Amino acid sequence: MKNINTLLKNETQKKILLFFNENPHCIDTAKGISVWVGCDTIAVKKALNKLAKEGMLVNHRTASTDAYSYTNQRGIIKKIERCIKNL
């Protein structure tokens, strides 16, 4: 996993992590998340894929769509929370 502070330097990734930290049980598509965080859908899709690759989000892929949720790994969540507090 990359350094979380490095990932938080990207504004879209930061907004997405803040959103999921505040709404840990949410599952939504890139389009839906883009509305919640106020960013372009294409930028959100790219950021979601990056954060899922890093293990911070989970991609729930189906035949017709991708939906994303927050990781359920407590260790990762605690690291994210520590970094968010320093923003």
pLDDT in tens, 59-76: 999 888 999 999 999 999
User: Cα-flanking dihedrals φ and ψ of residue 33, to 5°?
Assistant: -65, -35
Q: Which CATH number does the domain housing residue 60 bear?
A: 1.10.10.10
Whether pTM > 0.95 for this model: the answer is: no
pLDDT beyond 80 at 55 = yes
Kindly give, in sequence order, each residue whose CB lies less than 8 Å from that of residue 84, ignoring residues fewer than 6 positions away.
Answer: 8, 17, 18, 21
pLDDT, tens digit, 9 for 90 and up, residues 7-35: 889 999 999 999 999 999 999 999 999 99
Structural domain tally of the chain? 1
Q: How many CA atoms lie within 13 A of 13 on its CB side?
A: 20
- Range of the structural domain that residue 17 is part of: 4-85
